[in-house]
Structure 1
Amino acid sequence: MSHKLSEVRIKNFRSCIDADLKLSGYTPLIGYNNAGKSNALTAIQWLLRKTSLDTKDFFNPASSVEVEGIIDGISQDILDQMAENHRSSIVNYISDGKLRVRRVQTTPNAKVATINISVWNEAAQDWVPNPNGIDNALKSLLPEPIRIGAMENAAEDASKAKSTTTIGKLLSEFLEPVKTAHGTELAGHLSEVSRRISSDGDMRFGELAVIDQNVNQKIDDLFPGMSLKLHFDTPTFDELIKSGSIKVYENQNQGRDFSSYGHGAQRSIQMALIQHLAEVKRGAGANLSTTLLLIDEPELYLHPFAVEQIRQALLALSQNGYQVVLSTHSAQMVTSEQAKSSLLIRKCNQRGTYARTRLSDAIQMIVPDSTHQMEQLFSLSHSTQVLFSEQVILTEGKTELRLLPYIFERISGKTLGQEKLALVAQSGVRDTRKSLEILGAMDLPAKAIVDLDYAYTGAVSDGFLQTNDPDINASKLILQRLEQQGLITLHTNGLPKNGVVKAAKAFEIFANEPDAVIHIENLHNRLKAKCIWVWTKGAIEAHIGTTSKDELAWAQFKALVDTNGLQTTCPEPNTLTDLVQWLST
């Protein structure tokens, strides 16, 4: 994509009190119902399509609605392709390839003619209202967006394909090659029709002349000297497109109106047109303009496989002259590659609708120029959960991933999803601090669950605990005693390593020493205050009573709990209850 709308700021529009949106070529807007995703799409549409807003569009009717956008990537090559009058309207306002524009409506129901657009003058550090020719210049860069709403008006939209509707715009896109190839031929045919039915046609049908004559005899009695001729306008090619419609055929039967089908079929047909548009545009080469495609829930009513096909079609369009911004409730519309540029849309009483910091921006804030955290947090499976949650739970073990959802539901009576919690496996416990900081920068609350060894290693290197922490020092004395007894093997730093037993088992042995309990509890509580839960018995397996980390052990644990309950099955049931309560707060 040569240029795009890279940033939009929305003020006082519906639920958007003051919202900043950073946009990419393909930008999913992810949020719960009524968060304001559709309002954001409508505001973007209004920036590029001047209409008069009424009272319901103003969050506060006493203040103006303002939508500001930055068009980025306007190269000299693009300027050279523009018509001279369009280029001259904007060239003096472009800075570093960016053009900053703003549309303002001061009062509800204002006249459309008064709703102009301003451009930012970087040199003067001020807005320039309505420069001569600005609207047409903008249209050459960003034509009127194609908006595909949810299903409320889909049937009307498809069966009455006017120029302002989704189907009308898509038909116009499809038929442009037809117009190029056959415009002259069709114009000739239409001219022949006009000669036969227009009032001044030189080959008018005789029947029309007879009607004219009979009517004029009666008019002459009432208004001498006055006469009439029947006249029928012949449509142009563009007008034919505007009047186009869609008929649906099944098994070669007679075509039925689009509106006679259910929402699933209607949405499938809409999205099939989008897929075809992607194929038409793929490989079509560079284009002066970038068309915004604004879609509400493209996955609505579609089969999971169809959702993936639509996602790929939209991605293809985003690389061939279109910028795609969509609202979605489906993780299938967001792969790990798009997770970094997705916007988490939220709404609260104080801020109204707003976008949380993007993952890509949060990563650059915490670990600049690093791709590791992106790979760790947002593999396909991770993005499915994290982007649709209100709190993230980071964990390092497979057993937690498999059993914590089950344990959480058994204790709380709710699923992690119902509590809007995402359970995410870290690629390594050493990522804990950075992961928490990245999610914190996204304004996405997060907690981590770690094994006991983290309290003595990672927590120190991450700066959560001091190297000379008294509880760590006291713990090392106990560990030395256990080594002297031949039960474990220690590094030179005084911490367990693989030897007599594996390091993980050594921490479990240590946790069972009576004089170690107080020190472990102290470390546990201090780290819990920093949103990190430490398994005080070493690892989760010691708390639930399993001896291995495999599918058989997990299945046996669930079977025992289903039969006997958690209290009887688990050696440490109270710890699990405390964990669930901590995660829920």
Structure 2
Amino acid sequence: MLTLKSLQIKGFRSLVDISLPFKNLNILIGKNNAGKSNVLLATKLLLEASARDVAENDFYRNELEQAESIELVGEFIIPLEYLDLCEAKHKPKIQNCIRDNVLTVRRVITKVDGKPKVSPLELRQPENGEYSTPTGIDAAFKQFLPEVIFIEAFKDPSEESKAKSTAVLGKILKQIVEQVSDKINDDVMVAISEAEKKFNRITREGKEFDERPDELKRVESRIKSHIQDIFSGSDVRLKFNLPNVSDLISTATVELKDRGPWTPPDGKGQGFQRVLYVALLQTLADELRDETAAVNRPFILLYEEPEAFLHPALQREVGNIIESISKTNQVVIASHSPLLVTPSRMDSTIILRQELPPNPHKTNLFIPDDNFVEPDDDKQLISLLKLNNSSEFLFADFVLVVEGVSDRYLLESCWHMTREKIGKKFESISIIESGSKDVVPLWIEYLKRMKFPTKGIVDLDFLWNGSGRVLKIEEVGKFCEKFWRLADEANLCEMSDDGKPSLKKGRKDDAFALVVGENCDKELGEWGKRITDELLKRDIWVLSQGEIENYFGLKLTSKGKYVAVGQRIRKGEIEIPNELQALLTWLFA
């Protein structure tokens, strides 16, 4: 399979100097304005570009500098059989540029008199590292490089649905119909050959035959007569160029009907048109799956916001279709939909983030660790990537993992009132609830390996019920042993079915008092402080007052009122405790 292995982009919009490793399937995710569309467009410009595709504001610039050129360098994995698609005279020259099945291609865009100038594609010469076009023209190797199918989010649908080979609809239909062209080619060529006899003189075995209708012969005769009146001895004949199968395929289009007359796609709404793209892509995936091993020019599908105008179930279906297409042709999508980012697709994900003010306007990329999940922990990853979590953290600057819904709601309210005060007006925090203190450190580890800046918050009971899975220090064992002994003496605990001690219902605040406060056990308090400090080094904050509700006077019988408290925090009616302000500042430390 011929694929784009990597793409280096310099000086294009927010892509100052960035190198992207590509796979068969590539999912670009990030907030608005993170640079996802820029990557798609840069990929297109590498393979297909003209001066009208580039504007002056496409050159990177900030308050201090502006790029004078755009450089796009792509490394393509080229199985040698694809070279058969180019002319024989060019094949040796191209083959000399390939090392270990990798061909490096470059396009440079400069400014001339203030206007963009697009240079032809160049190939890297392995001997000296220089770039040139050994075939004289870049069209010689464009014959086997991927054709671009670029479905943009906000492209004029009336343009994209036109029956022409350069429009998206035309390109997709061409790819679909080409899969069956061999099956219809012979019959169609016989029909065209018969039609040829009705339009042109036919020469067979050195003899000329004229089976044209008399009316056509008469028209030709009159033209000939008028010409010979002026240029005696001259001759003229009509010649009609009939299409071949590929010409007919390039005219393919579709019409749609929905409780009304048949119309072109641009006569329907955006939602209907997007569903049409889905249907066409599904058909293409089916045809590619059924095709033989014939070597054809590949394509690269660039799809911007494939989820647009589609309900969640159809978004999931689009994800499956795109993944299926990527088994035979490369796919790069830019998405805001967490429904497309499944556990099995995490290693196909590229996270894009734009640097925050006051840093220069530029895009950075982050690649999730391919091996960041142990097989036994797959269920935790699935839980992490469920919609209500991933829709938040996939597009955030920072992630905070908490235990429950009250933690999330109250901390979101505090952040709403605190962000500008602590100088973090532009940053976004995603607060996600894990449902259990046991899961908090695991999710922190996962998210960090996925390149998300992540920290976590746990209740005080994590010291005796969870810290031992994170820390391997002597104090944890001493702390837990003494805590449970004191809890037993105070009749705060009971034995669980698994033979381990657990707190009795409603006695958690009494247990907290053993560790913190004026009447706590001093030795237990010191050990707890040491454990808390060590957890902090691992980006886990332990709430010193026990639980988030305790900071706002919510007791066991009033914990359910956290929503009302959160609303009052947002109105400025409740002051945010110092520890929680310090916690929110710590997130960015």
- Paired residues of 2:484 and 2:501 also in contact (CA < 8 A): no
Question: What is the aligned counterpart of 2:272 among 265, 271, 281?
Answer: 265
Aligned length: 550
Q: Any idea what SS the aligned residue of 1:126 has?
A: coil
2:333, 2:184 → 1: CA distance?
Answer: 35
Q: Which has the higher helix share?
A: 1
Q: Any idea what SS the aligned residue of 2:314 has?
A: helix
Residues 386 and 559 of structure 1: is their aligned pair in 2 closer, same or farther, counting only changes over 3 Å?
Answer: closer
1:241, 1:359 → 2: CA distance?
Answer: 42
Q: Any idea what SS the aligned residue of 1:103 has?
A: strand
CA deviation after TM superposition for structure 1 residue 374, in Å:
7.1
- Paired residues of 1:151 and 1:263 also in contact (CA < 8 A): no
Residues 243 and 96 of structure 1: is their aligned pair in 2 closer, same or farther, counting only changes over 3 Å?
Answer: closer
- Matching of residue 359 in structure 1 with residue 363 in structure 2: no
CA deviation after TM superposition for structure 1 residue 48, in Å:
2.7
CA deviation after TM superposition for structure 1 residue 29, in Å:
1.0
CA deviation after TM superposition for structure 1 residue 572, in Å:
11
Q: Which amino acid aligns with 2:369?
A: S
- Paired residues of 1:89 and 1:133 also in contact (CA < 8 A): no
2:508, 2:100 → 1: CA distance?
Answer: 56
Q: How does 1:304-323 map to 2 (within 5 A)?
A: 304-319=312-327, 321-323=328-330
Residues 437 and 261 of structure 1: is their aligned pair in 2 closer, same or farther, counting only changes over 3 Å?
Answer: same
Query: Aligned-pair RMSD on alpha carbons?
Result: 4.8
Q: Any idea what SS the aligned residue of 1:356 has?
A: strand
- Tell me what 1:392 maps to: 399
User: How far does the alpha carbon of each residue in 1:256-314 deviate from its partner, in whole angstroms, 9 at most, with x for none?
Assistant: 12211111112211221111111111243556465311111111112222222211111
- Tell me what 1:447 maps to: 455
- Matching of residue 23 in structure 1 with residue 22 in structure 2: yes
Q: Any idea what SS the aligned residue of 2:577 has?
A: helix
- Matching of residue 130 in structure 1 with residue 133 in structure 2: yes
1:80, 1:116 → 2: CA distance?
Answer: 20
- Tell me what 2:105 maps to: 101
Q: Given the two structures, how large is their TM-score scaled by the length of structure 1?
A: 0.76
CA deviation after TM superposition for structure 1 residue 38, in Å:
1.8
CA deviation after TM superposition for structure 1 residue 429, in Å:
5.5
- Paired residues of 1:311 and 1:333 also in contact (CA < 8 A): yes
Q: Which amino acid aligns with 2:22?
A: L
- Paired residues of 1:391 and 1:445 also in contact (CA < 8 A): yes
Q: Gaps (5+ residues) in structure 1? A: 491-496
- Matching of residue 327 in structure 1 with residue 330 in structure 2: no
Q: Any idea what SS the aligned residue of 1:45 has?
A: helix
CA deviation after TM superposition for structure 1 residue 40, in Å:
1.0
Question: What is the aligned counterpart of 1:70 among 75, 79, 90?
Answer: 75
Residues 286 and 385 of structure 1: is their aligned pair in 2 closer, same or farther, counting only changes over 3 Å?
Answer: farther
1:269, 1:125 → 2: CA distance?
Answer: 49
Q: Which amino acid aligns with 1:264?
A: G
Q: Given the two structures, how large is their TM-score scaled by the length of structure 2?
A: 0.75
- Paired residues of 2:464 and 2:483 also in contact (CA < 8 A): no
- Tell me what 1:246 maps to: 254
2:431, 2:18 → 1: CA distance?
Answer: 29
- Tell me what 2:284 maps to: 277
Residues 528 and 467 of structure 1: is their aligned pair in 2 closer, same or farther, counting only changes over 3 Å?
Answer: same
User: How far does the alpha carbon of each residue in 1:151-198 deviate from its partner, in whole angstroms, 9 at most, with x for none?
Assistant: 423322222x22222222222222224421222322232233333345
- Paired residues of 1:543 and 1:575 also in contact (CA < 8 A): no
- Matching of residue 295 in structure 1 with residue 303 in structure 2: yes
1:39, 1:136 → 2: CA distance?
Answer: 25
User: How far does the alpha carbon of each residue in 1:479-524 deviate from its partner, in whole angstroms, 9 at most, with x for none?
Assistant: 599469645689xxxxxx8267599667423245415499678986
- Tell me what 1:493 maps to: none
Q: What's the % identity of the aligned pairs?
A: 27
Q: How does 1:468-483 map to 2 (within 5 A)?
A: 482=486
1:120, 1:425 → 2: CA distance?
Answer: 54
CA deviation after TM superposition for structure 1 residue 358, in Å:
1.1
Q: How does 1:45-64 map to 2 (within 5 A)?
A: 45-49=44-48, 51-52=50-51, 54-56=54-56, 57-59=58-60, 63-64=68-69
Q: Which amino acid aligns with 1:31?
A: G
User: How far does the alpha carbon of each residue in 1:107-149 deviate from its partner, in whole angstroms, 9 at most, with x for none?
Assistant: 456776x52322352xx46245334499678557642222222
